[in-house]
């Protein structure tokens, strides 16, 4: 449109040049005009011709610049790696070369022979754009209504391979209508890499789970030793009293109650252990205090046997919907790390403190000790995979890495560490609202 108008202006100028030249010739040969008038008119006409010539050259320059810009725009449009489509929401208006190359087409008309919209190529998939997102919302309307969201689509190429694209759009106005440039950036390789990394994390999580299982079996064996010895002692006492015919009713009730209590303790321990390692991925409503108590039911006796004091400072008790078994793994790992540090550094009056509290938006669990803290040289690396300060003790270097993965990727929270007072402090932050 602009080029046509500019060309029309150029032709009008040429007509003006012809008329002006004719007028000059007429005045040159007209003997009726006085010499002074002829000179004045000649000067005015000369200035007028100069002005028209300037306008003509300026328009020529604008036309040249416009042509260069148009060429640059076309080159950008056709050479970007993402494929682009221009639409008014009703029909395809234009596509770029990447679009044609992806579908192995010569022109947009070849595509329109079989399809009316790029959305006809979208594949079904949860979390991906569809031709119709809902009964009254098309894919383009969904883009317009959710400009801040990340939109992805699945499209088959000519080899029937599924490609994943991230979709973005830009709105503009031209020829009295609103149009949209929609870009489709191929992120198939990135998505595949993310999926592979996710599988690796699952394997690392399982590896960490098995390592913790071995540690907990050892803890349970230690924890069961005293109840089993007490049960054996009580049953031996009953046996001896019966043989000597000295078992009174009161003593029989007392000893049998002790056996029942110890047996219940053993049953509770094994139930906690079984719950701990269930692999279900179902969120449950719980509290950080309940999760902490469940972990301590299994390992507290073992910790206290090392003369380590457990301090519980629970000030929240807010319910949250999360993955309790995975949180138990994190808390167990943090407690075991503190225990190792306290024993290794031979701390006098060692303690491990578990503190919970809340703010308006979040709930927190802080686990701290008086083991001397973490060296500033390594504190920024302790969450890296396979980083361990316990190589001499068969440390895998997965505990803290998997703990951070669980909290931040699975539970939508945050796991941080800092040195405070006489030891390290690990802080777990979880969103407060029950989702």
Cα–Cα dist 372/387, whole Å: 19
At residue 265, the 3 state secondary structure works out as: helix
When computed from its CA atoms, the radius of gyration of the chain, rounded to whole angstroms, is 40
Phi and psi (nearest 5°) for 182?
A: -110, 125
Site of tokens 């190529």: 121
Cα–Cα dist 317/290, whole Å: 8
Q: Which residues of the chain have pLDDT under 70?
A: 1-47, 50, 61, 63, 65-79, 204-206, 208-216, 218-223, 225-227, 265, 268-269, 271-281, 385-398, 433-435
Residue 371, judged by CB atoms within 10 A of its CB (0-12, 13-18, 19+), counts as: buried
Which of 337, 338, 328, 333 minimizes the C-alpha distance to 410?
328
Cα–Cα dist 177/143, whole Å: 18
At residue 377, the 3 state secondary structure works out as: coil
Cα angle at 79 between 120 and 169, to 5 degrees? 45
Q: What's the confidence (pLDDT) of residue 2?
A: 38
Site of tokens 């929401």: 89
Find residue 309's DSSP bridge partners: 351
At residue 159, the 3 state secondary structure works out as: coil
Residue 40 to residues 24, 30, 118, Cα–Cα distance (Å) = 12, 14, 68
The CATH T-level fold of domain 83-186 is Beta-Lactamase (3.30.450)
Q: What's the confidence (pLDDT) of residue 76?
A: 54
pLDDT mean across residues, the chain: 77
pLDDT tens-place string over residues 256-266? 887 887 787 67
Contacts of 337 (CB under 8 A, 6+ apart): 399, 400
Cα–Cα dist 397/74, whole Å: 53
Cα–Cα dist 91/116, whole Å: 7
Which of 341, 355, 364, 357 minimizes the C-alpha distance to 422?
341
Cα–Cα dist 127/146, whole Å: 14
Domain ranges for the chain: 2-79, 83-186, 193-431
User: Spelled out in words, what is the top-level CATH class assigned to the domain 193-431?
Assistant: alpha beta
Contacts of 258 (CB under 8 A, 6+ apart): 230, 231, 234
At residue 167, the 3 state secondary structure works out as: strand
Which of 409, 389, 410, 414 minimizes the C-alpha distance to 399?
389
Cα–Cα dist 300/9, whole Å: 92
């Amino acid at each position: 449109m602009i080029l046509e108008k500019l060309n029309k202006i150029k032709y009008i100028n040429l007509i003006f040049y012809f008329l002006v030249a004719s007028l000059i010739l007429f005045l040159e040969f007209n003997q009726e005009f006085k010499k002074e008038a002829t000179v004045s008119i000649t000067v005015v006409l000369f200035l007028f011709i100069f002005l028209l010539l300037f306008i003509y050259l300026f328009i020529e320059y604008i036309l040249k610049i416009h042509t260069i810009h148009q060429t640059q725009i076309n080159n950008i449009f056709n050479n970007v790696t993402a494929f682009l489509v221009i639409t008014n929401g009703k029909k395809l208006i234009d596509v770029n070369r990447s679009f044609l190359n992806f579908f192995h087409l010569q022109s947009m008309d070849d595509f329109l022979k079989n399809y009316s919209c790029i959305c006809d190529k979208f594949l079904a998939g949860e979390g991906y754009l569809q031709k119709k997102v809902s009964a009254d919302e098309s894919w383009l309307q969904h883009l317009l209504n959710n400009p801040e969201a990340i939109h992805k689509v699945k499209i088959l190429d000519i080899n029937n391979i599924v490609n994943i694209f991230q979709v973005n759009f830009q709105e503009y106005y031209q020829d009295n209508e609103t149009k949209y440039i929609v870009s489709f950036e191929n992120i198939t390789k990135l998505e595949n890499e993310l999926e592979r990394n996710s599988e690796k994390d699952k394997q690392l999580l399982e590896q960490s789970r098995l390592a913790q299982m071995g540690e907990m079996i050892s803890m349970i064996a230690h924890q069961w030793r005293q109840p089993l010895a007490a049960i054996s002692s009580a049953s031996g006492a009953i046996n001896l009293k019966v043989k000597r015919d000295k078992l009174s009713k009161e003593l029989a009730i007392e000893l049998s109650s002790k056996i029942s209590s110890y047996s219940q303790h053993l049953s509770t321990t094994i139930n906690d252990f079984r719950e701990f390692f269930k692999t279900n991925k179902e969120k449950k409503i719980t509290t950080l205090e309940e999760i902490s108590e469940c972990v301590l039911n299994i390992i507290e006796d073992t910790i206290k046997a090392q003369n380590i004091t457990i301090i519980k400072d629970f000030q929240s008790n807010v319910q949250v919907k999360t993955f309790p078994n995975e949180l138990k793994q994190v808390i167990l790992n943090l407690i075991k790390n503190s225990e190792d540090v306290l024993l290794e550094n031979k701390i006098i009056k060692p303690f491990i403190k578990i503190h919970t509290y809340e703010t308006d938006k979040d709930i927190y669990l802080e686990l701290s000790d008086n083991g001397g803290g973490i060296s500033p040289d390594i504190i920024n690396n302790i969450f890296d995979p396979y980083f361990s300060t316990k190589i001499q003790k068969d440390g895998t270097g997965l505990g803290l890495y998997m703990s951070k993965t669980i909290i931040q990727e699975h539970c939508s929270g945050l796991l941080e560490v800092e040195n405070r007072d006489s030891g390290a402090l690990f802080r777990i932050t979880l969103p407060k609202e029950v989702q």
